[in-house]
Structures are given as structure tokens and as C-alpha cells.
Structure 1
Amino acid sequence: MARQLRAEQTRATIITAAADLFDRQGYESTSLSDIVGHAKVTKGALYFHFAAKEDLAHAILELQAMAAQQLVADVENRGCSSLEALMRTTFGVARLAVDDPVPRAALRLATADLSVRPPLRHPFTEWLDFATRKFSGAVKESDVHADLDVAAVSHSLVCFFVGTRVAGRSLEPVERLPRRTAEMWFLMLRGLVPVHRRPRYLTLATQLEREIRAG
């Protein structure tokens, strides 16, 4: 049992080290030797758990997928509107990225030249599907304009959110991500939401950003 626990701890250490490097340096620029040095483990220990760098990236994406599924489940259990659920989910992902290198790496890996092995789906596909469902629900709930191009707006939202992190990575600390997420929503809400419903969601964006900063 103790040996199994040590093995699990070593695996987690390697994943965290790889995630940190993938986020800061990029997947393509990070070698297994870099990860061994950063994790302070032997090459044998790394190869015991992961046969290739791609396996490490896949493990990070799997962990992020599970975290995202739990986040979505928690939001859905609130019984909130479709637009609120979408907003809470994006801020939830921002919170995860601030707190943990694994979600940060997953955001960057989503833009890397990396094949995602089934049954795992590419993060963009998951995020686009979720955004499409929520914007479609928001149309039915009259929280956004009735003539909204759901597919175009969903694609723009995903690119906006991921691009905010990618563009800001070398310019500002990750702690700035909640502010950038709020700015994203301030811009989108003014174009998507009818005037009489807009104050509720603008206030929500401010509230969700404050919750992350206070947490």
C-alpha cells in the first residue's frame, strides 16, 4: 500500500511539473528531460508512468476534462438560467486556472498541435458544444436577442476566452485572468443581451470576478 501511494504521488508530481512547463514554455518547446529536472525525479520514474510526452499531455487533458465536468455539474445543480450557467462556468475555469497549473496547461494544450485520443474529445469541441447548448437555451429564455447566430457567438466566446489566456501569458500574471474574463463578458453582454435584461448579467460578471479574488 505504501509503495502504491508513493507511485501515485510520483505520478502526480510529474504531471504537475509537466503542466507547469507546458503552460510556461509550450508543449513543443518542453522536453522529457526538462520535465525530469523540474519534477526532480529520475528518468526511470517518469518512464514508469509515461512512455512519451504525448501521454503526459493526454493525462493533463483528462484531468482537466474531469474537473470541467464536475464544474458543469455543480453549476447545473444551481438551477440557474442558461446564460448564467455559461458565465459561471467560464469564471469557474478561470478560477481553476489561477489555482492549479494543470488547468492552465490544458488551456495552452488546446492550441497545440496535439492529437487527442478517444474517448477523450478535444477541449474546443467540448467547449463549443457546451456554449452552443447554453446560448441556444438563452435564446429560448429571451436572455439574448432572438436573432442570435448561436454557432458564431459560441465559436467567438471560446476563441475569446482561450485567446485571452494565450495572449496574456507572457504579458501578465495568471491572476489577471478573472479580470480579463469579466472584461470579455462586459463586451459580449452589451451586444448579446436586450437592454432590460442587461443589468442583471453585468452585475453577475462583476460578482463572479469578486468571488474569485476573495477566494
Structure 2
Amino acid sequence: MYINKDTIIIGKNIVLVPYREEHVLKYHEWMKSDELQKLTASEPLTLEEEYEMQKSWLRDENKLTFIILEKEKYLATNNEVEPMVGDTNLFFATPEDRIFAEAEIMIAEEGARGKKMGWEAMLHMFLYGITKLGVKNYIVKISYDNQISQKMFINMGFTEESRSEVFREITFYKIVDDLWVQFLQQSLQPFEIKDSSF
């Protein structure tokens, strides 16, 4: 989304940066994985298609994407490619109505899994959506097979809403309230938003 093209979110162990052209090659390598294609319900793209997708996502008023960086590696290398571990997204029905958002998270690097980076990145994305975009309701759709993600969102306060046998996925929802915002703020120290590189 154009609105976050210059936005960086800095957390304790992760940094969220906009999905840019320099990230595409590594992202493309990730998405060759049968496992990730299955977990994200994605189809493989050519590298050229992946570059086009990145450009379209940048202009898309209904989608917001951040690449997740491992903060320690980012500070050590001062580049955004080597520390890449995954991505997180918000989808909106229309650019005018951002009250309702569908969220996604992917930790692609196997070595980064089990380190709570997905947890931290997702909470940052939720708080960003609430404070900067006015999101009031979140949903996530998770495949039947992805029990790790199901457990993570339940632990974040999400409740099961429905199941689709056709798509073999569960929809969870969370209504934003003051108590949940307080939980996000207390969980995310630090939570810093910058509009340029640091």
C-alpha cells in the first residue's frame, strides 16, 4: 500500500519495512517451497511475475505489506535482504473503509521459526492498523493443517468464527477494544514508527 511506502516499524527483535524491489529475489526463492505455497494458499510465480506483483502491491490501496527483518542481523549488516525472515499483510475491502481488515503472517526462514518473531511482527501490525488506519475488527484465515498459527492467534485473543470444508480453513476474528489495545501496547516495548530509514 502506498500509505506505508516509507514506514518502518521497530520492535524489540524485529523490524518491519515496506516490501520493495530489493526484497523480491529472496521472496521469490521462499515461494518456491511447496510447504509455503500450501500454508499461504499461493501459486508459484516466475521471477518477472514476482517483480510485477511487488509493484502492484505498492500501488494497491486495499493491501498493506511489510517484510519482517531480524533486528539484530539488520543492525549488524545494515541491509534489508540478508535479515529477511518473512512478511505480514493486511487486506481491506475498500480503501475508504479500513475498519475491517484481514491479516496474514508468514515466517519463511526455517531458522527464524519458534523464536516468537511471527508473534511480535503480527502484534506490531495489529497496533499499526489500529493507531494509523483506524482498524476496529481483524480476521485471519488459517488452514486446518496449520495448528501452530491457530494456537498463536487464539493466544492473541482471537475466537473461531467459522470453518470452510471447501477451502479447509478456519476463520478467526478479534474485535478491537480498549483491553486488547492495552495488551498490545504492553506486549510491544519498544513500538516505534519511523517514516524513513534509521
TM-score by length of 2: 0.30
- Structure number with higher helix proportion: 1
Instruction: Return the index of the structure with the highest Cα Rg.
Output: 1
